[in-house]
């Protein structure tokens, strides 16, 4: 039986490991942390349970498919419930918008703005759906190993039809006039760490995906996906070594022959790496000559997505309201986005996202109390890097003051009984995220599709990559897809 080593128990590494074990390989997975999940980690403190990173479940069929592939019922591992309304958006001056994926409710919301904008909104959805179908077949479900996989008439024609060169905000503005609607369709590019004023317009598929395929909640939170994949892997016969960082991916004569752990080589027939690609290049393949175009200089020069500052607050009271996901836009959203991507400032007036998991699952907070997850997009470390204790304390106070002023948590400062935080430094330190960029390499046109690191490594045999910085990109379902593509590449090499 062939042995495969998987690096990292993030959702990408875990998904690849499950698939490979099911296919009959002997899988050994090595994770530097003490638990699975990577950015999909969990904090348990003072009776409160928080997901560290991802919270919004989109494209549930992709989550379920890996369990079905392994021959088990996904509902036994990741029971899901639809979230309705999906999202509430708050603006500085105007009325909030509640976004429902019930067509009747959505139509009411849109018509309350104007019939013209309702028409524009639906026209936008039709347009982006068409482009999504093209992208799904031509790019998301397809991996690239040779230049001809990309530069062939079919791919080029598909690329043209995607009309992806505009930025998200301008492309949406052609369809709707209301500023809130424009923002509501554009801001989601931040979910993958790219500016709505710069990123390829194709990423406006995200709000369409939320509306058409729903937003879900997994019982216990996102971390349930990580623990369930880890459980499934061991049930299938695979092995996971926690607290065991891989030190090197061993390449000899352009062939990957294993990894180094604690100074010793462990041999394998192939290696699938789910650790962040740019980090893996620099640290796990230290000899530049073995990694082709991915020199240290190139790695440094590539563009990275933004990062996040997070507060996980345990509150000794349960506040009114029932929305699971809420977004509060900065008064000047464009300035906020420029701070992140252009200027490298910690936003003075940040937009922020609130997540209230105990509204869906009471077991996540003590009775009559509630846990509040606060996410503030911030620049990645090459643009801004002062996360000293003093800087964190100052920014934390600013964020709490914003929450007091802008939300119904008006007396939150008097009810915080437990508190933890994550900064870009923590994402770098804990999970080896290059530059602390929470969504990996930025999906610019120059770093997408054929131009994003491939799932099959071009410079050594028997080495495959998955995860946010590889094709097709970031976000839980998309990195699960990257794992599937990496496994398919490995199978192709076996033919
Ligand atoms: C704050 C935040 C919010 C997010 N919100 C959402 C959301 O709502 N919905 C969504 O779909 N996506 C969201 N995302 C994105 C999503 O979480 C990521 O795209 C996804 O979890 C990345 O998974 P991964 O497996 O590629 O990487 P990682 O989770 O980073 O996994 C890499 C793993 O490799 C391990 N590792 C690294 N180096 C080594 C080594 N040398 N040896 C052994 N192990 C090693 C790391 O410890 C880690 O466990 C969010 C991300 C963040 C940070």
Q: What is the pLDDT of residues 350-360, one digit of tens each?
A: 999 999 999 99
Once rounded to an integer, what is the mean pLDDT over residues 382-396?
Answer: 97
Looking up tokens 């789910």 gives: 274
Residue 261 confidence (pLDDT): 98
- Domain 3-44+55-74+219-301+443-494: top CATH class: alpha beta
Q: What percent of the chain has pLDDT over 70?
A: 96
Predicted confidence band of residue 204 (pLDDT cuts 50, 70, 90)? confident
pLDDT-derived band of residue 365, with 50, 70 and 90 as boundaries?
Answer: very high
Alpha helices in 236-355 (DSSP H): 277-279, 296-301, 333-338
Compute the average pLDDT of residues 20-33. 98
Query: In terms of Cα–Cα distance, which of 133, 159, 131 is closest to 144?
Result: 159
pLDDT digits (tens, 9 = 90+) for 238-257: 999 999 999 999 999 999 99
- Report the residue among 5, 6, 10, 18 best suited for mutation to probe ligand 1: largest number of ligand atoms under 8 A from its CB: 10
Pick the catalytic residue from 31, 210, 380, 489.
210
> What's the pLDDT at 107?
96
Q: For residue 151, is pLDDT > 80?
A: no
Do residues 479 and 467 make contact, with C-beta atoms less than 8 angstroms apart?
A: yes
Task: Read off the pLDDT of each residue in 195-213 and give the average, rounded to a whole number.
Answer: 86
Q: For residues 290-300, give the mean pLDDT.
A: 97
Extents of the domains making up the chain: 3-44+55-74+219-301+443-494, 102-214, 306-379+388-422
Is residue 164 over pLDDT 70?
Answer: no
Q: Please indicate whether residue 54, judged by its CB atom, sits closer than 6 Å to ligand 1.
A: yes
The residue whose CA has the least distance to atom 35 of ligand 1 is: 8
pLDDT at 440: 96
Q: What is the pLDDT of residue 161?
A: 66
Residues 33, 294: contact at Cβ < 8 Å? no
Ligand 1 neighbour 278 (Cβ under 6 A): no
- The per-residue pLDDT for range 268-280, each reduced to its tens digit, is 999 999 999 999 9
| Pocket of ligand 1 contains residue 246 by CB under 6 Å | yes
pLDDT at 163: 67
pLDDT of residue 382: 97
Distance of CA 152 from the midpoint of ligand 1 (Å):
33
Residue pair 343/107 in contact by the 8 Å Cβ criterion: no
Sheet (strand 352-355) strand order: 97-99, 87-90, 325-328, 352-355, 370-378, 307-315, 416-422
Mapped onto helix, strand or coil, the DSSP state of residue 434 is helix
Q: To the nearest whole number, what is the mean pLDDT of the chain?
A: 94
Phi-psi region of 372 (alpha: psi -120 to 50; beta: other; left: phi over 0): beta
Q: Do residues 50 and 43 lie in contact, with contact meaning Cβ atoms separated by under 8 Å?
A: yes
pLDDT bucket at 159, cuts 50 / 70 / 90: low
Specify whether 210 is catalytic. Answer: yes
Kindly tell me if the per-residue pLDDT of 211 is higher than 90: yes
Q: What is the pLDDT of residues 174-197, one digit of tens each?
A: 999 999 999 999 898 888 888 889
pLDDT in tens, 66-124: 999 999 999 999 999 999 999 999 998 899 999 998 999 999 999 999 999 999 999 99
Which has the minimum average pLDDT: 176-180, 204-208, 240-244, 299-303?
204-208
* Average confidence (pLDDT) over 47-75: 97
Q: If you compute the radius of gyration of the chain from its CA atoms, what whole number of angstroms results?
A: 22
pLDDT range class, residue 150, cuts 50, 70, 90: low
DSSP helix/strand/coil, 141: coil
Q: Is 198 helix (H, G, I), strand (E, B) or coil?
A: coil
Q: What is the 3-state secondary structure (H, E, C) of 86-111?
A: CEEEECCCCCCEEECCCHHHHHHHHH
pLDDT of residue 140: 78
Q: What percent of the chain has pLDDT over 90?
A: 83
Q: For the domain 306-379+388-422, what is the CATH code?
A: 3.30.70
Separation in Å, CA 24 to CA 18, 27, 91, 263, 272: 10, 9, 53, 29, 15
């Amino acid at each position: 039986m062939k042995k495969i080593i998987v690096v990292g128990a993030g959702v990408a590494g875990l998904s690849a490991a499950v698939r490979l074990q099911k296919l009959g390989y002997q899988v050994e997975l090595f994770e530097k942390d003490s638990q699975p999940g990577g950015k999909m980690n969990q904090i348990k403190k003072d009776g409160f349970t928080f997901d560290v990173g991802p919270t919004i479940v989109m494209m549930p069929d992709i989550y379920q498919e890996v369990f079905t592939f392994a021959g088990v019922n996904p509902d036994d591992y990741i029971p899901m419930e639809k979230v309705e309304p999906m999202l509430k958006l708050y603006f500085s001056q105007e009325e909030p918008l509640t976004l429902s994926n019930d067509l009747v409710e959505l139509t009411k919301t849109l018509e309350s703005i104007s019939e013209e904008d309702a028409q524009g909104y639906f026209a936008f959805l039709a347009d982006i759906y068409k482009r999504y179908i093209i992208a799904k077949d031509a790019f998301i479900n397809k991996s690239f190993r040779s230049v001809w996989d990309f530069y062939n008439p079919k791919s080029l024609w598909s690329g043209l039809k995607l009309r992806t060169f505009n930025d998200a905000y301008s492309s949406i503005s052609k369809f709707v006039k209301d500023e809130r609607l424009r923002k509501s369709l554009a801001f989601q590019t931040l979910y993958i760490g790219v500016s709505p004023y710069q990123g390829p317009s194709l990423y406006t598929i995200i709000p369409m995906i939320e509306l058409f395929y729903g937003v879900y909640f997994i019982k216990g939170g996102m971390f349930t996906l990580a623990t369930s994949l880890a459980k499934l892997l061991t049930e299938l016969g695979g092995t996971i070594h926690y607290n065991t960082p891989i030190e090197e991916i061993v390449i000899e004569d352009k062939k990957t022959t294993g990894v180094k752990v604690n100074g010793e080589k462990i041999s394998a027939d192939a290696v699938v790496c789910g650790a962040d690609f740019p980090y893996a290049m620099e640290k796990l393949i230290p000899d530049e000559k073995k990694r082709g175009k991915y020199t240290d200089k190139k790695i440094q020069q590539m563009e990275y997505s933004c990062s996040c500052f997070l507060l996980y607050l345990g509150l000794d009271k349960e506040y009114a309201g029932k929305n699971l996901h809420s977004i509060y836009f900065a008064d000047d959203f464009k300035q906020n986005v420029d701070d992140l991507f252009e200027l490298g400032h910690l936003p003075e007036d940040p937009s922020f996202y609130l997540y209230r998991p105990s509204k869906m699952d009471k077991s996540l907070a003590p009775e009559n109390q509630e846990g509040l997850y606060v996410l503030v997009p911030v620049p990645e470390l090459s643009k801004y890097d002062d996360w000293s204790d003093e800087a964190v304390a100052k920014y934390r106070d600013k964020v709490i003051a914003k929450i007091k002023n802008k939300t119904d948590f008006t007396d939150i400062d008097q009810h915080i009984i437990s508190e933890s935080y994550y900064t870009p430094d923590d994402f770098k330190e804990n999970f080896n995220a290059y530059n602390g960029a929470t969504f990996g390499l930025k999906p610019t046109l120059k770093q997408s599709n054929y131009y994003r690191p491939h799932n099959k490594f071009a410079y050594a045999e028997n080495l495959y990559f998955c995860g946010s910085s590889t094709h097709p990109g970031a976000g839980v379902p998309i990195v699960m897809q990257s794992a599937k593509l990496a496994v398919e590449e490995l199978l192709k090499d076996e033919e």
